[in-house]
C-alpha cells in the first residue's frame, strides 16, 4: 500500500511511473483512494487500468476515513479515479450459513456507471457454499455465466481452475 511506502520514505507512484517507461502495465490496483487519484495522471491513459480494491465493508479506507461499504454506495465517485473495482466475491454473491443468498445488484450497478468488476477470494481448498457441491468450477461459472450478469474478471490463486471454468 502507498501509505506503507511513504512511511519508508519511498514513492510507489514514482516507481510505477518510471516502470511504465520501459514496460506496459495493464492493471494497477490499490485499496487507497488517494494513491489512485495521485497516480491517474502519471500512467498512460487507456493503456493502464486503475482498479480500486474494496476490502471488507466495515474496514476504513485510510485516506478518506470512510468505510468501504459507504464508498461502495457511491460508485459514480469511484469512476472519477478508477476504471474498475476489485471486490470480495461475497459482495456479489453473499453466503449465509453455508448457502448462497440472492445476488446483489453490484455488478449491474457498477456496469451502469462504466466500471469494470473483478471478483476475488476464490479458493479450491475452502468450500464457499454448499450450493456448489464442493466444485470450485461451479463457483466461477456462477460469476461469469449466470444469465443475469457477468463479472469482467476474477483474481485467484488457482488460475488453472478459473481457466477451466471459463
Q: Which domains does the chain have, with CATH numbers?
A: 2-96+103-122+151-157 (3.20.20.190)
φ, ψ at 134 (rounded to 5°): 60, 25
DSSP secondary structure code for residue 50 in this structure: E
Rounded to an integer, what distance in angstroms lies between the CA atom of residue 71 and that of residue 77?
A: 8
Closest CA to 95 of 127, 59, 47, 61: 127
What is residue 166's predicted lDDT score, i.e. its pLDDT? 84
- Cα torsion through 83, 156, 74, 61, rounded to 10: -100
pLDDT of 119 above 80: yes
Confidence of residue 17 (pLDDT cuts 50, 70, 90): confident
pLDDT of 154 above 80: yes
- Cα torsion through 130, 123, 115, 110, rounded to 10: 20
CA distances from 36 to 49, 117, 137 (A): 10, 16, 33
Average pLDDT of the chain is 91
pLDDT of 126 above 80: no
Q: For residue 129, what is its C-alpha cell?
A: 457454499
pLDDT of 113 above 70: yes
Confidence of residue 131 (pLDDT cuts 50, 70, 90): confident
Amino acid at each position: 500500500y502507498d501509505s506503507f511506502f511513504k512511511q519508508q520514505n519511498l514513492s510507489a507512484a514514482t516507481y510505477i511511473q518510471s516502470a511504465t517507461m520501459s514496460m506496459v502495465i495493464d492493471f494497477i490496483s490499490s485499496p487507497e483512494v488517494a494513491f489512485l487519484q495521485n497516480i491517474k495522471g502519471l500512467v498512460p491513459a487507456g493503456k493502464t487500468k486503475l482498479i480500486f480494491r474494496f476490502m471488507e465493508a466495515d474496514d476504513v479506507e485510510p485516506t478518506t476515513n470512510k468505510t468501504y461499504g459507504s464508498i461502495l454506495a457511491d460508485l459514480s465517485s469511484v469512476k472519477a479515479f478508477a476504471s474498475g473495482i476489485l471486490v470480495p466475491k461475497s459482495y456479489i454473491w453473499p453466503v449465509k450459513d453455508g448457502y448462497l443468498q440472492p445476488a446483489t445488484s453490484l455488478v449491474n450497478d457498477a456496469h451502469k456507471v462504466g466500471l469494470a468488476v473483478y471478483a476475488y477470494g476464490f479458493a479450491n481448498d475452502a468450500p464457499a457454499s454448499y450450493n456448489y457441491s464442493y466444485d470450485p468450477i461451479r463457483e466461477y461459472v456462477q460469476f461469469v455465466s449466470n444469465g443475469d450478469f457477468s463479472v469482467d474478471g476474477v483474481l485467484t490463486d488457482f488460475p488453472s481452475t478459473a481457466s477451466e471454468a471459463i
